[in-house]
Homo-oligomer: A and B are copies of this chain.
């Protein structure tokens, strides 16, 4: 069963067929779908679900902190259900494949006070770019 769905249920989230389908579609590892991809897969399970609902539902999941928004390319946002283990992303510049990665150390400590401009820093986002093995050998 869906971990994501369990977590959402546990928060008193009003459950509907649409929300269940969106949660099911998103569940898994190394999942980074765009809103439109989520919609396409949701429609396969529940043909009458609307685009607006998918956007709303994704937005709520992000607000609840159960799903992360990532924008690895400069086009559509992607949604990542792996919100409970902090991680960064590795993206293939050719084909767009995305992997979750866990660098050692904390990039926060690499930013000296003199480079903080008085900001209170709460979060760091790191995107590695390169070429995946498949594209490299092609």
Write the residues of chain A forming the contact surface with B, with a CB cutoff of 8 angstroms. Answer: 69, 71, 74, 77, 90, 92-93, 99, 101-105, 107-108, 110-112, 115-133, 136
Contacts and interface: CB of A to CB of B under 8 A. Distances in A.
A34 B20 CA distance: 38
Q: Which of A115, A116, A131 has the most CB of B within 10 A?
A: A115
Nearest to A136: B120
A74 B130 CA distance: 21
A117 B91 CA distance: 11
B104 A107 contact: no
B120 A131 contact: yes
Contacts of A110: 103-105, 107
